[in-house]
């Protein structure tokens, strides 16, 4: 969400098109077919006025129907041929468009799987999401449709001009004079129109925002009795969008007027300068009339296509930048050689993991920060330790977890897993031994079963049942009509927070990780569920190395070791007793929490 | 459709323009025809309409025009100019009518939604309502601007060209007309299919998009479980499926376009071929032939569009119905004899019981008085009915007559004008909601002409001044999505300041200092006492230090009054108040011992 959230037009050499070449290379055959068929498809559009000329000159002028059967046959063949060509061109255009989109989306998505957390911290989800979903779409449209439009219309234009030149060069040149005028005028309009359309989009999203605020803030608005005030403010926005909408319509109207005038100017030139004063020239007259009037539309399409190319530069630039971003955390080539990468692991070479963690003289600064949050920090966390990390919201409790999970790498010093530098093994090796339960539980859309198997696809039905029972999530599943095959909805939204929390515990247990990271929930759930979650937590950490970002007294009191974090730094460490005796920051945190929790216990 | 009222004129003008433009469209081929027949080929003017031949004479007759073809060229330009002006008018009046309609619709919807009872807001999903207010309005707009008016325009154009064609040659017109119904039916048929196809594609795009979204928001889970490969495969499968749907739909679309091209091409060919025959038989002149082909060309496109338009209509009907659902809900209303009494009297809850729709009772027989100028503290657990008490007082939920009475200064609040009631009750909600505007606008939202001094005074009392001073832009700081995110405590204090500027005689604090630390809490309460000593206050809190300054404290337990008295009295009798008091004043060592026991 920093430097590259801007939407200002980027300017790349040749509008960024060279950057696309490697991405569309495999479609060059399809593109070629599309272009060739499109060229042929335009033939009928060029030929039609010629056929009419023939009909006028030969049949009507010559007063004979002798060649009629051949004429009809040719006409029909022309229609069928050009339609067939256009069908092929159109099919290829659409399929190339969506296939290019597909490839780009997959490339962006897969690349994101390898980027480090620094990238995700720096860019909002919405921003990244539109790189994957919408930039790719614009580019696909560009390489297929914009190209197709250009081929179709340029062919017609060139063909029409050629025929006109052949038939009557002087008149053709006169008619051609209008073209540059049209191009310039249209380019001007186009720019203004785009501006107006952008403004309309902005205003539209503001109005959606207004509705959103008016509806979610209904209670507040009522208690403040500002219904009228809000409605009056809303009217300001709707008035503005109305004004802009009408202005855009005026622009469009004015543009259509110019186009019409230009094509009638062409017709007028033909009438005036044509000098078709002999009966035998009626056919030529009709030919020029058709071409002169039909030339304006193609010009418009071509200018549209060109302006698409210009605006799509931004999308190309952003997407290629995403694809070129390197991860801060990468495995060394020799590590990949031995252990495989994230997509094709070499599990046969993986050593079993024990679960000892050690920080050895670690210093760390976040890539986007300038202060050292860990300064020559050392800590030994042997297998089976329950480590609690406490501190206020935003104090930086996740830093240690981020380092243990290798979401970030130390600025200096080493993080040891089972006595060896974490960098000596692959990320996937480490991650496959870690279980993670988030403060706000995250489920994927799909069934409960799919979610549970997320961390361990090979688990048996029996394993699943056991894991569920261990954290008393079996009741949650039993309540569901379809049991394990119940759909959880997007992001698990069909379940309550408590249910999601319990299921995410079961998921972590099912993965049977040696190291468990737990971010305790602070969200309010009812007492019964809360007790269940706490029990589930106790079950989950048994027999593993666990790092708990702690909020609850029971966790804090029973932890083997506690780290107290304040303003991003570790200020105190020790057991619960030792820390209480110090009467420092921990003591204050704990007292406040005790009060709150005891009061809540009484009140719930 | 009562919303069409304000924009009827625009739509009428718009239709008028459409008619003029269609007429101009009809005249241009006639000029060409005369040019070809009379001027170039020198045919007699006998077959022409008398008005046309008179016009020809007035311009100097065919012979003279032959020498001055520029006159015909000029005529073409003039006709086009008329057409352009009419077309411009069509677009602009269409836009005006349509924008006016949409604006009225939006304004009415917004105002209406704000006035709908709170209960309605609770019952209906925010996302769904917003959808109705945005995309359904958009559907309605395109129905009006693109379908309704365009349909009429096409009808006018069609009628006129058929009229002119019939006048020139009846048989050829029949030849031209016969394929048209087929074209309409064909395009209607395909557009139905497309709509289904588009829907499936959209749904699948939604799934794909959600998958990407989930992957991004769940990046920690993905990485920590090492499931990048699974994610890639899952995404690839859906990506492939979605793409193949589009390829299929694309093929269908290309087929439709190509085959429709064949259909309309054949139609044009029929006209060209039969026209030539009729010319030979002397039933038509060359000029008429050229003009006829022009008219025919005007028909082909609109007719092809017709199928799509008819197809889209059903979508608009659904959209309009969804909007009507909101507009038909009933607004909050005052009783006809509602009054605006002084609001600085005693507040009485008289045997109040209340249950939300279809739920068990939330309040049961609550009976108490808050004397004017005193403070009532309320303590109770989740679901004890504390917040309900405040909702009823502010009439966010109306209290049914058989469920007791709430009076202020002896007047039943059901008989007080709603606006008067709410204006005089300053309420700070449990979860403060700030608007995405600047801090200043947020504070003065309920008092637009607020003097600077009073703004600062309110902020001072809510302990907000110092915080604001810490923002680089001070009171001009933008709150919300585009701006600074305030902490929970800062939001609560802003909400308090916003309420204070109202200087209401009754104030309600619904657990609204929970995220503020104890010292600030105390400071705010002292400031309130100093500046608003005469106000009647209802204060919900968990903090004994806060409650102990109240004149009386109510302990609610599952909707029933379990204790009521001065803080002093409650401290000395067994019960919830004393237990919490003990917890909050005991030392940590004591707690430790307790915890170990």
In B187-206, the residues whose Cβ lies within 8 Å of chain A are none
- The pLDDT value recorded for residue A1 is 35
Regions of chain B with pLDDT less than 70:
1-5, 45-47, 480-485, 586-597
Chain B residue with CA closest to A131: the answer is B212
Q: Tell me how far the alpha carbon of residue A410 is from its chain's centroid.
A: 30
Is there a domain that residue A363 lies in?
no
Task: Point out the residue among B32, B255, B279 whose CB comes nearest to the CB of A289.
Answer: B32
Q: Provide, as residue numbers in chain B, all residues whose Cβ is less than 8 Å from the Cβ of A274.
A: 69
Do the Cβ atoms of A261 and B583 come within 8 Å? no
Task: Give the span between the Cα atoms of A197 and B483, in whole angstroms.
Answer: 25
**Which residues on neighbouring strands pair with residue B416, listed in sequence order?**
B339
Rounded to 5 degrees, φ, ψ at A356 are: -85, 135
Does position A10 have pLDDT exceeding 60, yes or no? Answer: no
Residue A515 resides in a domain: no
- Per CB-CB distance under 8 Å, the chain B contacts of A253 are 87-88, 90-92
- Whether A8 has a pLDDT exceeding 50, the answer reads no
Q: What is the helix (H) or strand (E) element at residue B172, kind and residue range? A: helix B170-177
The whole-number pLDDT of residue A60 equals 80
A50, two tokens? 């010629």
Q: In this structure, what DSSP letter does residue A364 have?
A: E
Residue listed under structure tokens 């004393």: B578
Per-residue confidence at A2, pLDDT binned at 50, 70, 90?
very low
The CATH number covering residue A87 comes to: 1.20.1560.10
> Is A158 found in the same domain as A34?
yes
B172 and B278 Cβ atoms separated by less than 8 Å: yes
Cα–Cα distances (Å) from A421 to A338, A379, A383, B415, in that order, read 15, 14, 16, 76
Cα A518 to Cα A248, A300, A439, A456: the distances in Å are 55, 60, 8, 18
Sheet holding B506-510, edge to edge: B425-428, B506-510, B536-540, B375-380, B552-557, B560-565
Count of structural domains within chain A: 2
Q: How far apart are CA A161 and CA A176, in angstroms?
A: 8
- A481-496: average pLDDT: 82
Fill in the DSSP letter of residue A419.
T
Provide the H-helix boundaries in A168-281: 169-176, 178-216, 218-223, 227-273
Calculate the average pLDDT of chain A.
84
Nearest to A431 among B118, B225, B445 (CB): B225
Q: Which long-range contacts (CB under 8 A, 24 or more apart) does B288-292 make?
A: B288/B33, B288/B37, B288/B168, B288/B169, B289/A56, B289/A60, B290/A56, B290/A282, B290/A286, B290/A289, B290/B29, B290/B32, B290/B33, B290/B36, B291/B29, B291/B30, B291/B32, B291/B33, B291/B168, B292/B165, B292/B168, B292/B169, B292/B172, B292/B176
In angstroms, the separation between the Cα of residue A515 and the nearest Cα of chain B is 10
The pair phi, psi for residue B304, each rounded to 5°, is -65, -35
Among A87, A74, A80, CA closest to A37: A87
Contact assessment for residue A473 and residue A506, using Cβ atoms and an 8 Å cutoff:
yes
Residue among A84, A99, A101 minimizing CB distance to B258: A84
- Provide the shortest C-alpha distance from residue A13 to chain B (in Å): 31
The residue whose two tokens read 């009532």 is B376
| DSSP H stretches of helix in A55-135 | 62, 68-112, 117-122, 125-130
pTM value surpassing 0.90 = no
Return the closest-CA partner of residue B124 out of B135, B115, B116, B134.
B116
Same domain, A161 and A40: yes
Say if residue A134 is in the same domain as residue A183.
no
The pLDDT value given to residue B597: 47
When computed from its CA atoms, the radius of gyration of chain B, rounded to whole angstroms, is 38
Among the partner-chain residues B35, B94, B216, the one whose CB lies closest to the CB of A128 is B216
Q: What is the Cβ-side half-sphere exposure of residue A113, based on CA atoms within 13 angstroms?
A: 25
Q: Say what the pLDDT of residue B239 is.
A: 94
Cross-chain residue pair A215–B130, CB shorter than 8 Å? yes
What mean pLDDT comes out for the span A41-58? Answer: 84
Handedness of CA B396, B401, B407, B410 (dihedral sign): positive
A-B Cβ pairs (cutoff 8 Å, strict): 403
Q: Out of A304, A327, A350, pick the residue that ends a domain.
A: A327
Give the helix/strand (H/E) hosting B328: helix B286-328
Chain B 368-397, residues with CB within 8 Å of chain A CB atoms: 379-382, 384, 394, 396
Q: What are phi and psi of A195, to 5 degrees?
A: -60, -50
Contact (CB<8Å) B87/A246: no
**Interface list for B 456-485 with A (CB within 8 A):** none
Determine, for residues A602 and B427 on separate chains, whether the beta-carbon distance falls below 8 Å. Answer: no
Cβ contact, residue pair A83, B262, below 8 Å: yes
Pair A20, A163 in one domain: yes
**Cβ A340 vs Cβ B226: under 8 Å:** no
CB contact under 8 A, B114 and A230: yes
Count, residues in chain A: 604
Write the DSSP assignment of B417-435 as a string of letters.
-HHHHHHTEEEE-SS----
Residue with tokens 């917003």: B130
Q: Is residue A202 part of a domain?
A: yes
CB-based contact B72 A272, cutoff 8 Å: yes
Q: Which residue, chain included where needed, has tokens 């809360």?
A: A530
Q: Which residues of B touch A231 (CB under 8 A)?
A: 107, 110-111, 114
Instruction: Report, as an integer, the average pLDDT of A322-339.
Output: 87
**A360 Cβ contact list (under 8 Å, min separation 6):** A378, A413, A414, A415, A416
Q: How many CA atoms lie within 13 A of A573 on its CB side?
A: 14
* pLDDT one-digit tens code per residue, A276-307: 556 667 788 888 888 877 887 788 788 788 88
The token pair that represents B199 in the structure block: 């829907």
Question: Which residues in chain B are contacts of A265 at CB distance < 8 A?
Answer: 77
Question: What does B75-135 look like in DSSP terms, one character per residue?
Answer: HHHHHHHHHHHHHHHHHHHHHHHHHHHHHHHHHHHHHHHHHS-HHHHHHS-HHHHHHHHHH
- For an interface test with A, the pick among B39, B212, B591 (most A C-beta atoms closer than 10 Å) comes out as B212
Q: Which residue has the higher pLDDT, A370 or B564?
A: B564
Q: Which residue has the higher pLDDT, B48 or A422?
A: A422
Closest CA of chain A from B224, distance in Å: 5
Closest residue on chain B to A104 (Cα): B239
Average pLDDT over residues A91-118: 91
Listed by number, the residues of chain B in 329-368 with a beta carbon closer than 8 Å to a beta carbon of chain A are none
Q: Do A75 and B269 touch (CB under 8 A)?
A: yes
User: What percent of chain A shows pLDDT beyond 90?
Assistant: 15
Q: Looking at chain A, which residue has its C-alpha nearest residue B77?
A: A264
pLDDT at A186 over 90: no
Of B69, B88, B293, the CB nearest to A52: B293
Minimal Cα distance from A75: which residue of B?
B269
A52: Cβ contacts below 8 Å, ≥ 6 apart: A283, A286, A287, A290, B272, B293
Contact A473, A464 (CB under 8 A): no
Q: How far apart are the CA of A16 and the nearest CA of chain B, in angstroms? A: 25
Helix (H) or strand (E) holding A497: helix A497-510
**Interface residue B221 vs chain A (CB under 8 A):** yes
A75 and A112 share a domain? Answer: yes
| Boundary-marking domain end, from A327, A361, A393 | A327
**Mutation to test the B interface, candidates A46, A65, A109, most B Cβ within 10 Å:** A109
Cα separation, B449 vs A147, in Å, equals 58
Q: What's A528-567 look like in SS3? A: HHHHHHHHHHHHHHCCCEEEEECCCHHHHHHCCEEEEEEC
Same domain, A173 and A130: no
Q: How far apart are CA A449 and CA A503, in angstroms?
A: 10
User: Does residue A417 fall inside a structural domain?
Assistant: no
Range of the domain at A95: 16-167+312-327
Contact B580 A279 (CB under 8 A): no
In chain B, residues 83-112 whose CB comes closer than 8 Å to chain A: 83-85, 87-88, 90-92, 94-96, 98-100, 102-103, 106-107, 110-111
Residue A543 — φ and ψ, nearest 5°? Answer: 75, 20
Same-domain pairing of A77 and A138:
yes
Q: Could you say which residues from 126 to 155 on chain B have a Cβ atom under 8 Å away from some Cβ of chain A?
A: 126, 129-130, 133-134
A522 vs A484, residue with greater confidence: A484
Contact state of A234 with B106 under an 8 Å Cβ cutoff = yes
For residues A27 and A143, membership in a common domain is answered with: yes
| A158 in the same domain as A180 | no
Q: How far, rounded to the nearest angstrom, does the alpha carbon of residue A305 sit from its chain's CA centroid? A: 24
B interface test, pick of A45, A100, A211, A331 with most B CB neighbours within 10 Å: A211
For chain B, domains (ranges, CATH) are 347-567 (3.40.50.300)
Give how far the C-alpha of residue B133 lies from the chain's centroid of Cα atoms, to the nearest Å: 3
Q: How many CB atoms sit inside 10 A of residue B194's CB? A: 18
Instruction: Check A225 against B130: CB less than 8 A apart.
Output: no
Q: Tell me how far apart the alpha carbons of residues B553 and B60 are, in angstroms, rounded to a whole number.
A: 105
Q: What percent of chain A has pLDDT over 70?
A: 95
The verdict on a CB contact (< 8 Å) between B219 and A117 is: yes
A29, A158: one domain: yes
Which position has the token pair 């939407």? A7
d(C-alpha A340, C-alpha A349), whole Å: 9
Q: Which positions 35-64 of B are in contact with A (Cβ < 8 Å)?
A: 35-36, 40-41
Tokens 């920590």 identify what position? Answer: B224
Residue B266: its chain A contacts at CB < 8 A?
Answer: 76, 79
Asked if A428 contacts B228 with a C-beta cutoff of 8 angstroms, the reply is: yes
**Beta sheet of A545-549, edge-to-edge order:** A434-437, A515-519, A545-549, A386-391, A561-566, A569-574
Q: Is B433 on the interface with A (CB under 8 A)?
A: yes
**With an 8 Å Cβ cutoff, is B169 touching chain A?**
no
- pLDDT at residue number B1: 56
- Tokens encoding B37: 């027949």
CA dihedral B161, B165, B166, B171 (to 10 degrees): -130
Same domain membership, residue A321 and residue A217: no
* Same domain as A177, residue A261: yes
Chain A's closest residue to B69, CA to CA, is A272
**DSSP letter assigned to residue B6:** G
Q: Quick check: B220 contacting A, CB < 8 Å?
A: yes
Q: How many CB atoms lie within 10 A of CB B251?
A: 16
């Amino acid at each position: 969400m920093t430097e590259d959230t801007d939407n200002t037009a980027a300017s790349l050499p040749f509008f960024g098109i060279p950057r696309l070449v490697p991405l569309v290379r495999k479609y060059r055959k399809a593109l070629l077919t599309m272009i060739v068929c499109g060229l042929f498809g335009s033939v009928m559009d060029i030929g039609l006025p010629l056929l009419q000329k023939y009909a006028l000159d030969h049949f009507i002028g010559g007063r004979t129907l002798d060649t009629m059967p051949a004429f009809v046959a040719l006409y029909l063949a022309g229609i069928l041929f050009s339609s067939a060509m256009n069908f092929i061109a159109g099919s290829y255009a659409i399929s190339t468009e969506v296939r290019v989109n597909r490839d780009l989306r997959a490339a962006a998505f897969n690349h994101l799987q390898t980027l480090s957390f620094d990238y995700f911290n720096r860019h909002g989800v919405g921003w990244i999401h539109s790189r994957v979903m919408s930039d790719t779409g614009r580019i696909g449209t560009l390489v297929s449709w914009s190209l197709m439009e250009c081929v179709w219309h340029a062919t017609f234009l060139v063909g029409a001009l050629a025929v006109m030149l052949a038939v009557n060069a002087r008149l053709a040149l006169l008619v051609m004079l209008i073209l540059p005028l049209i191009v310039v005028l249209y380019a001007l309009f186009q720019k203004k129109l785009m501006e107006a359309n952008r403004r309309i989009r902005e205003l539209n999203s503001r109005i959606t925002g207004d509705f959103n605020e008016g509806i979610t803030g209904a209670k507040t608005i009522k208690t403040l009795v500002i219904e009228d005030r809000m409605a009056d403010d809303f009217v300001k926005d709707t008035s503005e969008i109305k004004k802009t909408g009408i202005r855009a319509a005026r622009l469009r109207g004015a543009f259509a007027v110019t186009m019409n005038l230009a094509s009638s100017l062409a017709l007028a030139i033909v009438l005036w300068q044509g000098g078709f004063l002999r009966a035998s020239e009626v056919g030529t007259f009709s030919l020029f009339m058709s071409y002169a009037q039909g030339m304006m539309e193609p010009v418009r399409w071509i200018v549209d296509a060109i302006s698409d190319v210009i605006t799509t530069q931004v999308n190309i630039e952003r997407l290629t930048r995403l694809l070129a971003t390197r991860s801060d955390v990468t495995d060394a080539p020799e590590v990949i050689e031995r252990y495989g990468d994230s997509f094709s692991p070499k599990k046969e070479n993986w050593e079993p993991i024990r679960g000892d963690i050690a920080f050895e003289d670690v210093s760390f600064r976040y890539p986007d920060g300038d202060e050292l949050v860990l300064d020559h920090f050392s800590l030994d966390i042997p297998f089976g330790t329950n480590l609690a990390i406490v501190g206020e919201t935003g104090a930086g409790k996740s830093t240690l977890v981020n380092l243990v999970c290798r979401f970030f790498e130390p600025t200096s010093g080493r993080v040891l897993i089972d006595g060896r530098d974490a960098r000596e093994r692959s990320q996937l090796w480490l991650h496959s031994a870690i279980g993670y339960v988030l403060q706000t539980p995250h489920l994927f859309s799909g069934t409960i079963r799919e979610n549970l198997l997320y961390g361990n696809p090979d688990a048996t039905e029996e394993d699943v049942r056991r894991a569920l029972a261990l954290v008393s999530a079996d009741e949650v599943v039993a309540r569901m009509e379809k049991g394990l095959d119940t759909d959880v909805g997007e992001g698990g939204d069909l379940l309550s927070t408590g249910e999601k929390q319990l299921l995410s515990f079961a998921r972590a247990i099912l993965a049977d990780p040696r190291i468990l990271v737990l971010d305790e929930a602070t969200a309010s759930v009812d007492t019964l569920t809360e007790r269940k979650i706490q029990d589930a937590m106790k079950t989950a950490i048994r027999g593993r190395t666990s790092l708990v970002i702690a909020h609850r007294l029971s966790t804090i009191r029973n932890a083997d070791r506690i780290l107290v974090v304040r303003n991003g730094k570790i200020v105190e460490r020790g057991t619960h007793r030792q820390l209480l005796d110090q009467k420092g920051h921990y003591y204050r945190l704990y007292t406040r929490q005790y009060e709150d929790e005891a009061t809540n216990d009484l009140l719930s | 459709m009562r919303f069409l009222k304000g924009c009827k004129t625009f739509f009428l003008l718009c239709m008028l323009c459409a008619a003029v433009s269609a007429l101009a469209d009809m005249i241009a081929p006639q000029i060409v025809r005369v040019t070809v027949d009379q001027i170039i080929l020198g045919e007699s003017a006998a077959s022409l309409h008398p008005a046309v031949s008179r016009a020809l004479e007035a311009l100097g007759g065919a012979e003279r025009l032959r020498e001055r073809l520029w006159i015909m060229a000029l005529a073409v330009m003039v006709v086009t100019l008329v057409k352009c002006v009419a077309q411009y008018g069509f677009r602009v009046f269409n836009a005006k009518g349509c924008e006016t309609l949409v604006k009225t619709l939006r304004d009415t919807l917004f105002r209406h939604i704000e006035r709908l009872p709170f209960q309605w807001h609770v019952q209906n999903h925010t996302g769904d309502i917003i959808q109705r207010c945005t995309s359904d309005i958009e559907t309605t707009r395109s129905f009006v601007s693109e379908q309704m008016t365009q349909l009429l325009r096409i009808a006018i154009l069609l009628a006129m060209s058929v009229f002119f064609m019939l006048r020139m040659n009846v048989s050829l017109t029949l030849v031209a007309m016969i394929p048209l119904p087929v074209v309409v039916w064909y395009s209607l048929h395909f557009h139905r299919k497309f709509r289904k196809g588009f829907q499936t594609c959209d749904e699948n795009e939604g799934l794909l998009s959600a998958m990407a979204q989930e992957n991004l928001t769940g990046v920690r889970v993905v990485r920590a479980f090492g499931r990048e490969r699974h994610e890639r495969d899952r995404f690839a499968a859906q990506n492939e499926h979605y793409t193949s749907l589009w390829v299929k739909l694309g093929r269908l679309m290309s087929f439709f376009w190509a085959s429709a091209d064949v259909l309309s091409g054949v139609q044009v060919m029929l006209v060209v071929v039969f026209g030539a025959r009729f010319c030979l038989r002397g039933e038509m002149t060359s000029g008429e032939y050229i003009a006829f082909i022009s008219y025919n060309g005007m028909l082909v496109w609109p007719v092809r569009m017709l199928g799509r338009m008819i197809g889209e209509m059903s979508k608009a009907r659904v959209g309009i119905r969804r909007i009507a659902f909101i507009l038909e809900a009933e607004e909050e209303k005052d009783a006809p004899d509602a009054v605006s009494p002084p609001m600085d009297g005693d507040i009485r809850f008289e045997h109040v019981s209340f249950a939300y729709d279809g739920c068990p009772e939330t309040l049961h027989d609550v009976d108490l008085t808050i004397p004017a100028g005193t403070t009532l503290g309320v303590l109770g657990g989740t679901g004890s009915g504390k917040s309900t008490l405040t909702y009823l007082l502010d009439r966010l939920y109306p209290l049914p007559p058989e469920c007791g009475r709430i009076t202020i200064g002896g007047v039943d609040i059901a008989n007080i004008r709603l606006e008067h009631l709410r204006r005089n009750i300053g309420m700070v909600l449990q979860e403060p909601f700030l608007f995405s505007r600047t801090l200043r606008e947020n504070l003065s939202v309920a008092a637009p002409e607020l003097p600077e001094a009073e703004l600062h005074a309110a902020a001072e009392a809510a302990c907000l001044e110092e915080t604001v001073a810490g923002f680089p832009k001070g009171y001009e700081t933008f709150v919300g999505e585009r701006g600074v995110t305030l902490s929970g405590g800062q939001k609560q204090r802003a909400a308090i300041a916003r309420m204070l500027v109202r200087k209401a005689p009754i104030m309600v604090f619904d657990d609204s200092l929970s995220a503020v630390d104890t010292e600030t809490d105390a400071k705010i309460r002292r400031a309130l006492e100093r500046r608003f000593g005469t106000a009647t206050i209802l204060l919900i809190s968990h903090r004994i230090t806060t409650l102990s300054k109240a004149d009386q404290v109510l302990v609610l337990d599952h909707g029933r009054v379990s204790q009521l008295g001065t803080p002093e009295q409650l401290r000395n009798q067994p019960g919830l108040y004393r237990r919490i008091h003990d917890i909050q004043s005991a030392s940590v060592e004591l707690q430790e011992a307790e915890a170990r026991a």
